[in-house]
């Protein structure tokens, strides 16, 4: 059961686009996509399943990209393990998961962790520093002047929804 986590330095850096790009690039995994947030999105359940593909919400975009199922998990940090247990009960043990979240790395060890770095590194989310340390690779838009530390790969892409061939190969090597 491969697990990918995609997190980012802030809002609107391309996390959802990259999730959709990975789903589209690796359809053989039949992904279940999960967005974890602490922000209210107007749904009654803390673990809510999206049913309609489209462009209106992040979870609808996941389905439009080819995800088999898509969930929105709304929770504060203290209740995250409870919500993940609820999610696991809904999806079963053999699901291939792709998460959009910085916080999930505190509770699980993914097979691949991708950090989307935005243009304005100084305006990073509080959860970014820890997440970036866990990341296996950094992804940036082609016009972003980003750097990465150590031996971790840096993937530059003009459109994060269109995963490059080198990144697709790199992902497959880690997931199979």
pLDDT score of 149 more than 60: no
What is the domain-level CATH number for residue 94?
3.40.50.300
pTM equals: 0.93
> Do the Cβ atoms of 69 and 106 come closer than 8 Å?
no
pLDDT score of 51 more than 90: yes
Tell me how many domains the chain contains: 1
pLDDT score of 148 more than 60: no
Q: Tens digits of per-residue pLDDT, 60-111?
A: 999 999 999 999 999 998 999 999 999 999 998 889 999 999 999 988 999 9
Domain containing residue 155:
3-175
Q: Tens digits of per-residue pLDDT, 112-127?
A: 999 999 876 556 778 8
119, with CB counted inside 10 A (0-12, 13-18, 19+), is middle
Tell me what pLDDT residue 41 has.
58
């Amino acid at each position: 059961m491969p697990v990918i986590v995609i997190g980012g330095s802030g809002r609107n850096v391309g996390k959802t686009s990259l999730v959709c790009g990975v789903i589209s690039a690796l359809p053989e995994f039949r992904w279940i996509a999960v967005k974890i947030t602490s922000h209210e999105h107007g749904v009654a359940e803390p673990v809510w399943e999206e049913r309609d593909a489209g462009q209106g919400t992040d979870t609808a975009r996941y389905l439009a990209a080819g995800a088999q199922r898509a969930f929105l998990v709304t929770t504060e940090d203290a209740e995250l393990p409870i919500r993940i247990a609820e999610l696991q009960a809904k999806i079963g043990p053999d699901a291939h998961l792709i998460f959009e979240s910085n916080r999930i790395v505190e509770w699980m060890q993914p097979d691949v962790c991708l950090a989307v770095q935005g243009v304005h590194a100084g305006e990073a989310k509080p959860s970014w520093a820890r997440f970036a340390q866990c990341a296996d690779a950094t992804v940036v838009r082609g016009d972003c002047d980003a750097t990465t530390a150590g031996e971790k790969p840096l993937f530059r892409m003009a459109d994060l929804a269109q995963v490059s061939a080198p990144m697709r190969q790199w992902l497959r090597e880690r997931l199979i």
